[in-house]
Amino acid sequence: MKGLGTNEQAIIDVLTKRSNAQRQEIAKSFKAQFGKDLTETLKSELSGKFERLIIALMYPPYSYEAKELYDAMKGLGTKEGVIIEILASRTKNQLREIMKAYEEDYGSSLEEDIQADTSGYLERILVCLLQGSRDDLSGFVDPGLALQDAQDLYAAGEKICGTDEMKFITILCTRSATHLMRVFEEYEKIANKSIEDSIKSETHGSLEEAMLTVVKCTRNLHSYFAERLYYALKGAGTRDGTLIRNIVSRSEIDLNLIKHQFNKMYGKTLSSMIMEDTSGDYKNALLNLVGNDL
């Protein structure tokens, strides 16, 4: 970055081939040696989508997700999709760390900001998801309760005129994934349609998106992320925010599993779609992060 022009390839090679912990160490050494903040220096040297991707890599993981949530709420209009994606797909522990980082970085409570920024049932489901009560790793399922939940969902939606949204929200947001899988099975027997079809016919807009996301993450988290990436790349224009966020935030968690699922679901590799859809330094950096496809 010194002198005229920037050696983008060197930046790509150094930053995309290290873990986040190593990037934090590099930033520390950079500051010690040159007295400058690495992220700020990168911002002044780079631009566009490439800058957005490289800067995303420089945040510690939970700070990055806190920033994405903050950006989704600040200014006019709220990007509900971003908030739904993060809150529905993270574990209780991850959510706790994100809340902590949010408070440290922005001096306010994530829960209060979400309440201030959303309303109605969407606000209820987001606040409910934030509690992270869906995590139960014991894998214990009470068949009686699963059947009861399925009957309650049917009674709250398909069976009556109008929908009891709170019943849906409570069951979707407070039961564990293994329990919900059983509930969805029982529901299908009672209603003769999938829980997804019922949600689509009973709700709409952001609330529908939030409920469907919970169902997708419950059924198969890797399929959910594969689908997010596919639709970020498919068709005219690329949803770069979604692409960057999902590749960066999953790169050290389960990106290989997501790539495998992507291939299975769409018959093509994630890297081949990135190659078709992006260009230049941005493309090279993304391909480095995604690595060789299976």
- The answer on whether 35 is annotated among ligand-binding residues is no
Residue 180: both structure tokens together: 């919900």
Alpha helices in 118-239 (DSSP H): 120-130, 143-156, 165-174, 177-191, 195-202, 205-219, 221-233
Rounded-to-integer distance, Cα 282 and Cα 273, Å: 14
Rounded-to-integer distance, Cα 160 and Cα 162, Å: 6
- The answer on whether 237 is annotated among ligand-binding residues is yes
Residue 254: both structure tokens together: 């389960």
Cβ distance 171 to 183 under 8 Å?
yes
Contacts of 189 (CB under 8 A, 6+ apart): 150
- The answer on whether 120 is annotated among ligand-binding residues is no
Q: Which residues sit in the known binding site for Ca(2+)?
A: 235, 237, 277
Q: Which residues sit in the known binding site?
A: 235, 237, 277
